[in-house]
Amino acid sequence: MDISVAELKALSSCGESHSIQVGKTYLIRTVTHYYTGRVVAVTDTDLLLTNAAWIADTGRFATALETGKFNEVEPFMDDVIVARGAIVDATQWRHDLPRSQQ
């Protein structure tokens, strides 16, 4: 039986699923860093974030989640790609995305 490349791609993506919702804002913890940003794309291997920032110091984690305030923020100028394999966890960010360095 011969199978086309298109059919093979369709079969290989059948099991792909994720809980990240395009268009929503997240606080993402990776094995080495925290990021905030709006998810604009999800691929098999990564997330694309816009209006992203590297969060160098969250301060008390629960306080940051509640208030939206961090101790140290380094905004990116351009979109950021985050490897899905490096993500430890992610939660919806219910505050304005931090865009100023602090």
CATH of the domain at 12: 2.30.30.100
Count of structural domains within the chain: 1
Pairing assessment for the beta strands 25-30 and 80-83 based on DSSP bridges: unpaired
pLDDT, residue 17, reads 78
When pLDDT is averaged across residues 69-92 and rounded to a whole number, the result is 97
pLDDT in tens, 17-61: 788 999 999 999 999 999 999 999 999 999 999 999 999 999 999
89, 92, 94, 97: CA torsion to nearest 10: 70
Residue 34 lies in a domain: yes
Full-prediction pTM beyond 0.95? no
Domain interval for residue 48: 5-92
pLDDT, residue 64, reads 97
